[in-house]
Amino acid sequence: MAYNIVTIVGSLRKESFSLKIANALAKLAPASLKLDVTTLNGISFFNQDLEAAPPADWLAFREKLQKSNGVLFVTPEYNRSIPGVLKNAIDVGSRPYGKSSFLGKPTGIISNSPGPLGGVSAAKHLQNILPGISGPILGQPETYLNGCGDGFDDKGELTKESLKAVLVQYLDAFAAFIEKQNR
């Protein structure tokens, strides 16, 4: 049986590195993991006033999370933090209060940047946001993918062997973490 992992892409851009990385991860994943690459384009803005009759997109996102065996965030860094669309999705998924759809779900974080820092601030912000609304977070290996701009061909396929090696190493650790948490 493969564990179903909701793989949340933190960027809306059609050609984003986060989406390319998430798709590469899905292809590289071991047989024990099925990565469901999930973009956030259809999630409306969180507004507590709507919680009495939540929009269908919120309910669908929450249900997807609830049915999963874990969550993997793949995010860029915007202005030394996570993109607003990702924070919005976390707000939607963590409500209603006390009933977070992330709760108990083993969680992984991969940040990325074409620059030298690899989105480390975004990853650290996720590590600050998630406790209390999620499950355990994989601590090692921490994966901040820097210089990833040249890692893909014009079709979005992973071509950089050093990047592939890092992704495979992460997936192996994440698969073991998921297995342990879902026993």
Say which CATH number the domain at 137 has.
3.40.50.360
Count the Cβ atoms, other than its own, within 10 Å of residue 42: 11
Tokens representing residue 155 in the block = 């079709």
Per-residue model confidence as pLDDT tens digits over 83-141:
999 999 999 999 999 999 999 999 999 999 988 888 999 999 999 999 999 999 999 99
Count the Cβ atoms, other than its own, within 10 Å of residue 105: 25
Taking the whole predicted model, whether its pTM rises above 0.85 is answered as yes
Per-residue model confidence as pLDDT tens digits over 127-172:
999 999 999 999 999 999 998 989 999 999 999 999 999 999 999 9
What does the radius of gyration of the chain's CA atoms come to, in whole angstroms? 16
Say how many domains are in the chain: 1
With CA atoms as reference, report the closest residue to 70 among 167, 4, 169.
Answer: 4
Could you give the CA distance from residue 7 to residue 33 in angstroms, rounded to a whole number?
11
Count the Cβ atoms, other than its own, within 10 Å of residue 48: 10
Q: Which residue segment(s) compose the domain that 153 sits in?
A: 3-181
